[in-house]
Structures are given as C-alpha cells and as structure tokens.
Chains A and B, each alone.
Chain A
C-alpha cells in the first residue's frame, strides 16, 4: 500500500512522515512537492513511469496552498480522470475556512483535516486516518467500469 503525500512544505513532510512512523503503518510514503509533480506522478510521466519504484497510491493526502498547481486543481484533475475518479483524497490544510471546506467537498474530496501544531495530536490524527482509510475503508479495485 502506498500513500501519496502532496505537500510543498518540507517541515510538514517531515512531521507527516514522523507521525506515520509513530502510527505504525506499513504503507510506503511517496512525496510530491507540488500539484504538478503529483499529476506527473499519477500520469506516470518520465521517471514516474517506473511503477515498481513509484506505485499508484491507495490514498492521497493533499495540501491546498502550493506553488505551480494548487491542491484544488489536482482534485479537479483527479476527478476528471476516470482511473482516479474514486481514489480516496484527504485534504490536509492549514485553514478551516468554510469556503475551502465547502469547495473541497464539492470538488470530490473524501475528507478534510486541519493541520495541527501539536505533534502528539498529529500522531493521534494520522493513526486514525491510516486506520480508517487503509484498514476499514473499502475502495473498488478499479475505478474503470468494465462491461460484464
């Protein structure tokens, strides 16, 4: 299992990796440092075509404010692509602005989490997150409907 973390802040990447380690997940973490990299990763552009090294994720953790391509654009792109239309996306944002939350859900986000400054709380949050999305939640093997 692979988690794709789309996050431009090196600090937040560090905290998230640390929290995931503490949460005790076996999933591997891939990082895309902005929205464009995430789209390249998912499309298998260039080096990302090596799926042994860069496997398609089972869960995307998506930041909103990023240079080049922001989180909402990634979300729009994902939901338009049939192959990724039902890939679980959890938004990780600094903001709890009502407008952001509403927009995220209307664009097809599956969950919205606000980043915390408390490392203990972050660990607890990530533990729950991993448990829910990687252990209990069911997703289709393929989003593409194949004729019976």
Chain B
C-alpha cells in the first residue's frame, strides 16, 4: 500500500534540458513530494503506466511525436482517472511554438499552464492542487473498486442462489417422480389386495354355501337313522352312527367358526354406543346353558355403555361366557361373575369364573386361531372362539386379556372406549 501510494502520489517531471529537472525536483522533494524524473515524454508515459500523481512537463519536451504518446496515455486512462498535467511554458501566448498543441491538450484533459519564470510558491501550489485533485480521483477509483467487488460478490451470490434454485427444482422433480411412483405402487397393490380380498370372499362364500350342504346331509341322515332304526340295529352300529353325526356336526361348527373369524377380519364393523348391561342380560336369557341349574351367571355391578358393535360384542361376550361355563371342574356348577372396571378412561368388562384355570404358559396362545389346551373329548371346541373375540375386539379399537392360574378360575377382560352416556 505504501509502495503503491508513493507511486500513485509521485510527480513525473519531464525535462530534457538537465538543469530545469534537477532544480524542480529539489524544490518538490524539499516539500515532501515524491518525484520521478524522465528525460523525455515517451519515457514518462511508460513510467506513468505504473502510477503517477501528476505530470510536470516543460514546453521544450513537447513535440508532435511525444504529444502523440501523451494523448494515447490520456486516452487509455480508466474512467475515474484524469491525470493532472502541469505545463511549464515560456511565453505562452497565441503564435508561440507549441501553443496550438497545448491548447488542444487543454480541451481534453486537466492542464495547468504556468508561464516561466515562476516562483517556487506558485510551482508548489500548482503541484499540490494537482495532487489533491488526483487523490480525489483515487478515492473515486477505490469506491469504484469497492462497488465492483460488491457487485462481484452479489453476482456470486446470485449464481449460487440460481444453482441452489436449480438443485431445489431438480430435487422437487425427483420427489414428485418418487411420489408418483409410490402412488402407482400403492394403486397397484391396493388393486391386487382388493382382488385377493374378493377372491377370499368368493372362497368363503362358496364354503358357507356349498361345503355345508353335504355335511348337513351326513348329520341329518345319521340322526334320522338313529331316530328311526336305533331299536332295530346292534348297539355297535348305533355307536358308529353317533360318531358320524358328531364328526359332521363338529366339522360344521369348525366351518362356521372359520367363516365367523374371516368375517370378523374383513367385514367393516360400524361403531356405536352399546348398552352392555342389557346385552349381557339378553345373552344369559337366551342360552339355557347360562342359567340355573346348569350355571350361575351373574352381573355383579351394572355394566356401563361402551363404543362398539352390538352384534359383534354379543358374539364376543357369548363366547367368553360360554368358555367360562364350559371350563368348569366336572360335577361343579359353574359360577360366572360379570362386572365392570375402569382402566385409563376405558371401560373394562370382566368375566370371571370358578373353573379349572389356565397355566401361565398357555395364557397367550389360547388367543391364536386353532390353538387348544384340552382334548376335544375333555372340553369340546374348535379352537377359534377366542381368536374371534380377539380379532373382533381389536377391530372395535379395544383389547382383550386374561388373568388366571391353574385351579383358581380365570378372569377374561375386554377393554373398550366409554360411550359417555350417549345412546
């Protein structure tokens, strides 16, 4: 910067006739002004290209050739620059040699003409004024540079922004493409799933219609045979017929339970407030197996209303009471208590029995389809009842569970949303 400013602030003195240059340089230097002496204007122009605060030119150094160099230099200045020229003339007046050239210069640049002889103070004052003006130009130059760097920075940022926008646009396109692919996949899968469900429905429709027909025939013919001809056939034959009947009956129940399960898994279950108290009373009233002397099923405390599906809930609670009554100790009257509980704002309905209980290791698997703990000859069943309960309760947004230990009865519970009293 120091180097630069000394070059920028120096006065280039052009004086071909020795003495003048030396004297002038001395005067300027004594006042703290940097000076560069050049023997002719051509050399001065070369020197000025590395930096100059002002030119001090003697009239003698001006001729057609040197003037041309100077004009080129002036012409090639950057826009901010207008290098001051101080011309030391001798008899500067129209008609004097070089007057026309100087006048021409004055039209296109900042020329100060000092007529010799001149006083030191005049020279210093003119040089300082010129340097002062030159410094102003440097300030303009600096501002322009600053502006240029700010503009460059802005252009950079604009370019960066533009490229970010481009990246963003590409990313958006990419996302849109993925989204549309995903949508298409979902559409295809949904269609496939629908097709599968439709096939499954057709399958279970066919089972419920066509497979049960022959079974009904087996059941009824064996039953009719027993009723009409039992007295005329050997006991062994009657026993076999009984087995055919029970086998067909059991298979029919199995088919019905599987159908109920698959229906619970696929058919929409509309949810509405359900009066559980009335529902349980109706169930008890409907099944003689849930009434004395076969069993004692009691609602211990009034049961609240829940959000569920009445038909599905009837099936679930019937299944649970049926299990509670079925898994009793031989010779003992089943006692079943039904009562409500509260569980984190949800309603718990408990069905508690005095039966044989369930070992801890079996308590989870009994809810899986086809899982059974007992042989059919001990406790009849298809192994589907509890899985229907679980599937149905879950589809109503609820939970089902059991607490039990061997020999101490079981407590099955279902949890459903409270209906908040609206019905």
Contacts and interface: CB of A to CB of B under 8 A. Distances in A.
A64 B209 contact: yes
A117 B249 contact: yes
Interface string A2-35: 0000000101100100100000000000000000
Interface of B is mostly: helix
A9 B208 CA distance: 15
Given A64-B209, A93-B209, A95-B205, A119 B215 contact: no
A126 to B, nearest CB: 13
Contacts of B209: 64-65, 93-95
A142 interface: no
B208 A97 contact: yes
B223 A120 contact: yes
A119 B209 CA distance: 19
A65 B210 contact: yes
Contacts, number: 57
Contacts of B205: 95, 97
Nearest to B215: A117
A95 B213 contact: no
B208 A119 contact: no
B112 to A, nearest CB: 111
B248 interface: yes
Contacts of A9: 213, 217
Given A97-B205, A117-B249, A122 B220 contact: yes
B203 to A, nearest CB: 12
B227 interface: yes
Contact of B217 (A11, A64, A95): A11
Given A94-B208, A95-B205, A97-B208, A118 B213 contact: no
Most chain B Cβ neighbours within 10 Å, of A9, A93, A94: A94
B212 A94 contact: yes
A18 B249 CA distance: 20
Interface in A14-65: 15, 18, 64-65
Most chain A Cβ neighbours within 10 Å, of B213, B248, B249: B213
B348 interface: no
A1 to B, nearest CB: 26
B208 A115 contact: no
A118 B223 contact: yes
B224 A18 contact: yes
